[in-house]
Amino acid sequence: MQTYLNLSIILQNRQILYIYKPKEFAKKIGVSVSTLRRWDREKRLVPLRTETNHRVYTDDDIFKVLNLEKPSNQGKIVVYCRVSSHAQKDDLQSQIEAMQTFCLAQGIAVDEWHSEIGGGLNFNRKIFLSLMDRIEIGEIKSLYIAHKDRLVRFGFDYFERMAKRHNCQIIVANQEKLSPQQELVEDMLAIIHSFSSRLYGLRKYKKQVKQIIKENP
């Protein structure tokens, strides 16, 4: 079967599998690239090869190495709700209740409900990262959110494409009333503060350079 490395997918047995380069795969499973080479020589884990004879690995290899049971094609249906601060607990509860009403009206049998308190600009949220990891290994087939910014404030399209690559669909209920305006204000202020700090640092650096030049004509 032909490999299309430039598309980062391989068509094999009519399934679309995500491809990892050796360095990416080694980091994902917690070993070194030299260990992967040794496993290849020992036939313990034989990777796929591209037309240019480069080694590549797939999600199937992750299941082999970690001795995990490969999830069924069904996957889980998951709902994710989020607010930015503990002061918004009432908003979080309203969001959960609204998503319950939405899923009930749509006849959606939800397997898991997850809620989290954390900023939309923070990509290191514990539950968020866990869901992304599970999407990558095929455990989740549908992820429901009230609004795009409940997942992330910026970069939603990237995560949506990533999910599709792993046969997961992110469904947005598009309930804008569940996207607190105060959060947007706080996130914008955080961005402005970040850029302001950088500009201050650049001005300070420029001043130091001028001083050095002045002292060393």
Q: What pLDDT is attached to residue 22?
A: 93
For the stretch 5-44, pLDDT in tens is: 433 443 333 344 567 889 999 998 999 999 999 999 999 9
**Same CATH topology for 3-66 and 76-178?**
no
Is 32 a catalytic site residue? no
Q: Residue 33 is inside which H or E element, if any?
A: helix 33-41
CATH superfamily of 76-178: Resolvase, N-terminal catalytic domain (3.40.50.1390)
Domains in the chain: boundaries: 3-66, 76-178
* C-alpha gyration radius of the chain: 23
Distances (CA, A) of 41 to 7, 61, 202: 28, 16, 51
Name the catalytic one among 8, 32, 72, 84: 84
pLDDT digit string, tens, across residues 146-183: 989 899 988 899 999 999 999 999 999 876 554 555 55
Q: Quickly tell me which residue has 């009519």 as its tokens.
A: 14
Residue type, 136: E
d(CA 159, CA 120): 13
Domain made up of 3-66: CATH architecture: Orthogonal Bundle (1.10)
User: pLDDT per residue over 92-147, tens digit each?
Assistant: 999 999 998 888 888 888 889 999 999 888 889 999 999 999 999 889 999 999 98
pTM higher than 0.85, yes or no? no
